[in-house]
Amino acid sequence: MGRSRRTIPEELLLLALDPATGTTAQPQSLDLGLAGAQLVELALAGRIAPDGDRIAVVLPRPTGDPTLDSALELLRRRGSPVRAVHWIGGPRLGLRQTYLAHLERCGMVHAVAGQMCGVLPTTRYQATDTAISREIKARLDSAIRTGVPPDPRTAALAALAHAVGLGKHLYPGNEGRSSRSRLRDLIRHDPMGGLVAHAVMDVQNGVAQQPRRTPARPNAGDRSGVPVQSRHGGMARAAVH
């Protein structure tokens, strides 16, 4: 893969970057979205393919993108298809920071050092060319406004933007309600993007931690035949820095 085209993880992160504050919207869910965006990008590159609700490696050859190739190698080492929800819900230490540093090396953002409360060191990231972010959002706007089915990359980006909760960041207030609704509807235009976006939302809703259940059988102490629902753990989250 050359650098003539921005990857979906890069575009998702640029969409989430607030030009006024230099911070990212929805930071915790964004880490999940970046992991999902890597899967979509690898699928578009022909390296992986969906297998039901699982992801299978079909071509382990490197793409030339170090961040994508790291994910591809981890998938290859699994040896068998992995459920998308389990992959996305796994630990992703510093994935957002990795991509921010990557964008900085590519010249798309620059780091601005600062302090919180005059003591704690902080780093904000400002886009070096806001036209790039405007162009990315314009593609979403066009798909929302025209109703014409978008290309797979834009459809997947829209699905992930909705899944991580960027709708209110991109289309705020009551006036943006219809746009947020149409953004959500774009999820149906790309099967891989839809699979990954639903997996991101499932992780946030705690589905990744829920074991598969078989129907309960009535016993002498329960003549109603209604299975008793067990309790499950809390939401699985990717680690963030």
Look at residue 57 and give its three-state secondary structure: strand
pLDDT above 90 covers what percent of the chain? 55
pLDDT of 126: 83
Q: Give this prediction's pTM.
A: 0.80
pLDDT of 11: 95
167 pLDDT exceeds 50? Answer: yes
Q: Cβ-count burial of 185 within 10 angstroms (0-12 exposed, 13-18 middle, 19+ buried)?
A: middle
- For 75-100, the pLDDT digits (tens) are 999 999 999 999 999 877 688 899 99
- For 121-159, the pLDDT digits (tens) are 778 888 888 888 899 999 999 999 988 889 999 999 999
CA–CA separation, 194 and 156 (whole Å): 7
pLDDT of 225: 38
pLDDT, the chain, mean: 83
217 pLDDT exceeds 70? Answer: no
pLDDT of 230: 38
Altogether, the residues listed in the chain come to a count of 241
Tokens 């990557």 — which residue?
A: 102
- Assign 229 a pLDDT band (cuts: 50, 70, 90): very low
* Token pair listed for 213: 């259940």
- Assign 40 a pLDDT band (cuts: 50, 70, 90): very high
Pick 208 or 201 by higher pLDDT: 201
